[in-house]
A and B are shown apart, each in its own frame.
Chain A
Amino acid sequence: GAGVSQSPSNKVTEKGKDVELRCDPISGHTALYWYRQRLGQGLEFLIYFQGNSAPDKSGLPSDRFSAERTGESVSTLTIQRTQQEDSAVYLCASSRRTSGDTQYFGPGTRLTVL
């Protein structure tokens, strides 16, 4: 596709429910990143993928968070047993390669946990 796409654009869920967020990177981009941005805050790194491998998951806030990627395409970020503090915009970005290359961001998924 022309750019990074994410779905859904907005998600409202009840505390304790599981949610799945999807990211479609730019075709041919091997690196994919997930960030979280709370209201008025900076970008918090969550995880990155090189191909379908996630060498560093240390940014994931807790074991309720997990992510996977199929080949060099779609990635899903899953949050289990959502809490109110999970409310944020979740941004996905991709780049041609991992090191030193420009990241292109998707429009984000705004998650609201009631």
Chain B
Amino acid sequence: QKEVEQNSGPLSVPEGAIASLNCTYSDRGSQSFFWYRQYSGKSPELIMFIYSNGDKEDGRFTAQLNKASQYVSLLIRDSQPSDSATYLCAVNGGSGTYKYIFGTGTRLKVLA
């Protein structure tokens, strides 16, 4: 059973701090990795995707991928109360693989 694991949280950080969200996956052949944000009662929205080892930055968000260790992380700098949401990690196996496996999400609380 291919799995994606996330700590359910809640992860509480003060406003302005860096929030670090982690995700591990079991399928070593996975090639595409996504972070979605889901506000309560809303549908998931894409934050970032990453395909290659290393860091990818977009504004306050940085995705980090380490395929050897099979983990992907999301850093949120200068966290804001509006960042409070559940963050879902999703993994796709790549070429010829249709299935996206989602983690159960980490709930982030940014305290004002």
A42 an interface residue at 8 Å Cβ cutoff? yes
The distance from the CB of B50 to the nearest CB of chain A, in whole angstroms, is 11
Give the distance to chain A from B3, nearest Cβ to Cβ, in Å. Answer: 11
**Which residues between 1 and 58 of chain A lie within 8 Å of chain B, taking CB atoms?**
31, 33, 35, 41-43, 45, 48, 50, 55-56
Q: Contacts A42-B105, A105-B43 given: A100-B94 contact, CB under 8 Å?
A: yes
Q: Which residues does chain B contribute within 8 Å of A98, judged by CB atoms? A: 98
Please determine whether B104 and A41 come into contact, CB atoms closer than 8 angstroms. Answer: yes
B44 touches A48 (CB 8 A): no
| B100 & A55 in contact (Cβ 8 Å cutoff) | no
Instruction: Give, as a whole number of angstroms, the nearest-CB distance from B9 to chain A.
Output: 12
B residues with CB within 8 A of A: 31-32, 34, 36, 42-46, 49, 51, 88, 90, 92-105
Count of A-B contacts with CB under 8 A? Answer: 56
Distance to closest chain B CB from A102 (angstroms):
6
Q: Which of A42, A45, A50, A91 makes the CB contact (< 8 A) with B104?
A: A42
**Closest partner residue, chain A, to B48 (CB atom):** A102
Query: Residue A48 contacts which of B46, B93, B98, B101 (CB distance < 8 angstroms)?
Result: B98
Contact B44 A43 (CB under 8 A): yes
| B100 and A45 form a contact (CB under 8 A) | yes
User: Counting chain A CB atoms within 10 Å of each CB, which of B32, B100, B101 scores highest?
Assistant: B100
**Closest CB of chain A to B48's CB: distance in Å?**
10
Question: A99 near B102 (CB under 8 angstroms)?
Answer: no
Q: A91-B43, A105-B45, A108-B43 are in contact. Are A43 and B98 (CB under 8 A)?
A: no
> CB distance B43 to A48 under 8 Å?
no
